[in-house]
Amino acid sequence: MRISFCCTDTASEPWLQGLRAALPTAKVALWEPGAPLADYAVVWAPPQQFFDEQPQLKAVFNIGAGVDALLKLRLPPNALVVRLDDAGMSVQMAEYVCHAVIRHFRELDAYEADTRQGNWSFRKPRSRADFPVGIMGMGVLGERVARSLVGFEFPVMGWSRTPKSVDGVQCFAGEQGFAEFLAASRVLVCLLPLTPETRDIMNLTNMSRLQSGAYIINVARGAHLVDDDLLALLDSGHIAGAALDVFRTEPLSAGHPFWQHPKIVVTPHTSARTLRSESITQITSKITAIQRGEPVAGVVEPSRGY
């Protein structure tokens, strides 16, 4: 069995060592043009040439949760595309989103600004009931985030393409439930996959449906958010602020207004990073299962984009 590793901007040797240790009988190699045909591939942002030279692949494992960039390429016709289910990312995502929600709810940004000026200030405590959190995207990451926020006693709602059921979470589904979901949300968290249907979903119309003084948290893809629409709603006061970890162009360009906007927190796509050891364990377990003819979780349906 051959495994080809083709991950752009990724230190390859630790991955190669880990894959070889987990599957000692497999031949694991870094891909180079003209490399021998492989049975499986571990990839991140591979070039089209990689797939053109490897048409026989049984499965392609993407070392990130999002597969939108991968699905833009011409893939081997018979290969399964498999994304990571979690690999240590869900707890990181829950940490990031809970921190962003609590920082806004507790007005810790305002306290920080005051203390920098030497001011000992006080703000009246706010009610969690007045800050319902709506989560768009209720996959593995979205569900973990939702459960974590329930633990802090926020009202939590989830919206997804198909109906879901999560204890303590009010779930909405489909186009028919979207407007009601938005109207019930004061904090909006985007954890959707990027598809033609979800691109620009956080636009002027949809964000205007949120409760007044809404807060936006985007940890999915930059193309979900229409930048100018967010800026307009911040200026109008309908949106109180935003925590943004993903952007249409990354790194975020030096002159982009998000950098200096007083109501926006910018982080460099770091809400949930791939953890190598967990990823290797998951990938090699799935390869072993496929070899035995068993089904595996995380198989992407290209027609729906995730």
Which residues are marked as active site? 221, 269
What DSSP state is assigned to residue 42? E
Q: Which two tokens stand for residue 124?
A: 């009246």
Q: Is 229 helix (H, G, I), strand (E, B) or coil?
A: helix
Give the containing element (helix H, strand E) for 145.
helix 140-151
Q: Is 231 helix (H, G, I), strand (E, B) or coil?
A: helix
Helices (H) and strands (E) in the chain, counts: 9, 12
Q: Which two tokens stand for residue 60?
A: 């392609």
Q: Which two tokens stand for residue 42?
A: 């571990």
Q: Is the backbone peptide bond immediately before 251 cis, with ω within 30 degrees of 0? A: yes
Beta strands in 85-244 (DSSP E): 133-136, 156-160, 169-173, 187-190, 214-218, 239-244
Residue 195 CB partners (closer than 8 Å, separation 6+): 68, 304, 305, 306
Residue 231 CB partners (closer than 8 Å, separation 6+): 257, 261
Of the candidates 75, 49, 47, 45, the one whose C-alpha atom is nearest the C-alpha of residue 63 is 45
Read off φ and ψ for residue 102, nearest 5 degrees: -70, -40
Cα angle vertex 29, ends 24, 30, to 5°? 145
Amino acid at site 287: I
183, 211 Cβ separation under 8 angstroms: yes
Cα separation, 71 vs 52, in Å, equals 14
